[in-house]
Chain A
Amino acid sequence: MVQNFTLGRREAVKALLADRKDLLVVTGLGSASYDVFDAGESPANFYLWGAMGGAGMVGLGLALAQPKRPVAVITGDGEQLMGIGSLLTIATKTPGNLTIVILDNGHFGETGMQVSHSGLGAQLDVIATGAGFRSVTEITDIKGVNDYRPTLQRIDAGPRLARIRIATGHVDRALPPRDGVFLKNRFRENLGFAVT
């Protein structure tokens, strides 16, 4: 069951977010937030520092409110596992503009690299298909990431889920802002809503 994946998480996220255009990004707490911050700070990023299991649903609420903007949720396997039922909820709404990207190293990286359910054999891609996701993609190398990048710009035919199998190696933290009110106001202002 144990497989060794070699794709670096920072390299993968940087490639995924290159030339991101109008993409709105919600990140799951922990390493996914650090990866997205490291790839390039943007007011169109909303970093979660808590609310474990909620990233996908924040993405859904946003995608329904902004149907003409592509929305990506970038999160880890552990974060998505805690909100696994939300994959069913997201699928029922068929948000064309929403893509869930799971950076899957099969471990809970932030808490001591305990093996996750994914690492123990749970197939998140199969679960997403069963939940009703219209498009599910398994990615294991940088070519796969580069090939997938234009898909993040789509605002139709979603929801999509990409499971990117990444290496477990240590990566230094890169810490985005963690003041939630700042992140909220910055994000909304960027979408044209006045901060009152």
Chain B
Amino acid sequence: MNDVAVRDDAKDDTQSGLSWPAQIYKTLKAHGVSQISYVPDAGHSRLIELSHADPAIQTTVLTTEEEGVALSAGAWLGGDRSVLLMQSSGVGNCVNMFSLAASCRLPFLTLVTMRGEWAEFNPWQIPMGKATPQAFEIMGITVFRLERPEDAEEVISAACSLAFESDQQIAVLISQRMLGRKKWTETK
């Protein structure tokens, strides 16, 4: 889906010694997540690698983001906890499928890497980036923000509890400022 953002560097959480993607992975594991689906984004690339490397997690690459909303529903029906990873440009694709989570009061958790909100080079990313929080909210989904790497565990843990224990639909937006600028020129 569109172009992808690349982190300039892995911004580590100095307190735990874990990078924020590793912190997210660890927190999802602690909350019993056993299925992860994604449309790739460079901001999620480390988490996607960790997921694929874990035989206890079923990792599913999607052709479009709304597939992951339906996958999460089926996972929960079968007793699994599932998380959808995507970029902000894919949120609009999901809007009607969010009806499934709302109608069945299903736990739903998605982690969204933001584009179009901070130091963006590609103007085509901006409309959907700007509309991302509202696109979730019009469908009744609660929006959290993850702005700083050191907050990863706390924010993701709170989101997991709300989703999987209180049957809520939660989107965590990972800020573009935290992800870093995309490099548009190759260095050789």
Residues of A participating in the B interface, judged by any CB pair closer than 8 Å: 24, 26, 46, 48-66, 83, 85-86, 88-89, 92-93, 180-181, 183-184, 187-188, 191, 193
Contacts and interface: CB of A to CB of B under 8 A. Distances in A.
Contacts of A58: 70-71, 73-74, 77, 100
A124 B5 CA distance: 35
Interface in B36-85: 58, 60-64, 66-80, 82
Given A49-B103, A60-B60, A184-B106, A54 B78 contact: no
A121 B26 CA distance: 49
Classify the secondary structure of A's interface with B. helix
A65 B61 contact: no
Given A50-B100, A180-B103, A184-B106, A65 B78 contact: yes
17 contacts: A49-B103, A51-B96, A53-B97, A54-B66, A57-B67, A58-B74, A61-B73, A61-B76, A61-B80, A62-B77, A65-B79, A66-B79, A85-B64, A180-B100, A184-B105, A184-B106, A188-B77
B75 A62 contact: yes
A70 to B, nearest CB: 12
Interface of B: 34-35, 58, 60-64, 66-80, 82, 96-97, 99-100, 103-106
Contacts of B69: 54
Nearest to B61: A92
Contacts of A55: 70
Contact of A85 (B63, B74, B78, B100): B63
- Interchain residue pairs A-B with the least CB separation, the first 3: A61-B74, A65-B78, A54-B70
Given A86-B67, A89-B67, A180-B103, A61 B35 contact: yes
Contacts, number: 117
A86 B63 contact: yes
A47 B22 CA distance: 38
B36 to A, nearest CB: 11
Contacts of A65: 34-35, 74-75, 77-80
A53 B66 CA distance: 9
A177 B68 CA distance: 25
A116 B23 CA distance: 47
B31 to A, nearest CB: 16
A59 B104 contact: no
A90 B6 CA distance: 28
Contact of A64 (B35, B67, B96): B35
Nearest to A51: B100
Given A58-B73, A89-B67, A50 B58 contact: no
Given A51-B70, A58-B70, A93 B60 contact: yes
B62 A61 contact: no
A51 B34 CA distance: 23
B74 A92 contact: no
Nearest to B102: A180
A190 to B, nearest CB: 10
B75 A61 contact: yes
Contacts of B58: 64, 93
Q: Which has the most chain B C-beta neighbours within 10 Å: A56, A57, A180?
A: A57
Contacts of B35: 61, 64-65
Contact of A51 (B62, B97, B105): B97
B8 to A, nearest CB: 31
Contact of B73 (A24, A54, A85): A54
